[in-house]
């Protein structure tokens, strides 16, 4: 599963500051927009339409540290049902983990970071939960509804 999106629906402000031993972080979750210079959160929503990745849908977290210290990050994703196909960080997931949480690989950064998701054809509709961890501490949890549509 990658997770494709075209964002629609309810506006949700989910901008927070999280703190841990590496300092504080501004964290946002929502639709992503790419420019030549960078990728940024376009808008934040709690309802997402499942649209093929070929049509440009993507979403994720932006992490902006207040200090340039190295930090590690990963996500744990909870799916409403089993997807038809797994890809990206989900490719190695065990089907038993779909509801108990699928942990991504651990990444490291010291500057702004984008953690991106897309949908694959046949990914389940329903309520998704994604937890973002920074330095092994839960920094943000998001819950959103994936609906059918273009």
Say if 1 falls within a structural domain. no
The boundaries of the domain holding residue 99 are: 6-147
d(CA 149, CA 10): 15
For 54-77, b where at least 16 C-beta lie within 10 A, e where not — what string? eeebbbbbbbebeeeeebebbbbb
pLDDT of res. 66: 93
* Total domain count, the chain: 1
pLDDT of res. 26: 93
Res. 135 pLDDT band, cuts 50 70 90 = very high
Residues 140-149 have pLDDT tens digits of 999 999 888 6
pLDDT of res. 73: 96
Residues 40-66 have pLDDT tens digits of 666 666 787 786 677 767 888 999 999
Residues 101-111 have pLDDT tens digits of 888 889 999 99
Backbone φ/ψ region at 99: left (φ over 0), alpha (ψ -120 to 50), beta: alpha
Say if 128 falls within a structural domain. yes
pLDDT of res. 13: 32
Domain with residue 116: its CATH number is: 2.60.40.1930
């Amino acid at each position: 599963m990658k997770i494709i999106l075209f964002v629609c629906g309810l506006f949700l402000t989910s901008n927070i500051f999280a703190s841990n031993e590496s300092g504080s972080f501004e964290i946002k979750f929502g639709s992503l927009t790419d420019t030549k210079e960078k990728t940024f959160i376009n808008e934040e929503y709690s309802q997402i339409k499942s649209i093929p990745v070929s049509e440009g849908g993507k979403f994720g977290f932006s992490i902006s540290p207040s200090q340039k210290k190295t930090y590690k990050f990963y996500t744990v994703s909870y799916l409403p049902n089993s997807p038809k196909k797994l890809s990206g960080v989900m490719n190695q997931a065990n089907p038993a983990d779909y509801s108990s949480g699928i942990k991504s690989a651990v990444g490291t950064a010291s500057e702004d970071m984008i953690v991106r998701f897309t949908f694959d054809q046949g990914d389940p509709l329903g309520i998704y939960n994604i937890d973002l961890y920074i330095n092994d501490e839960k920094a943000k949890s998001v819950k959103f509804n994936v609906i059918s549509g273009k």
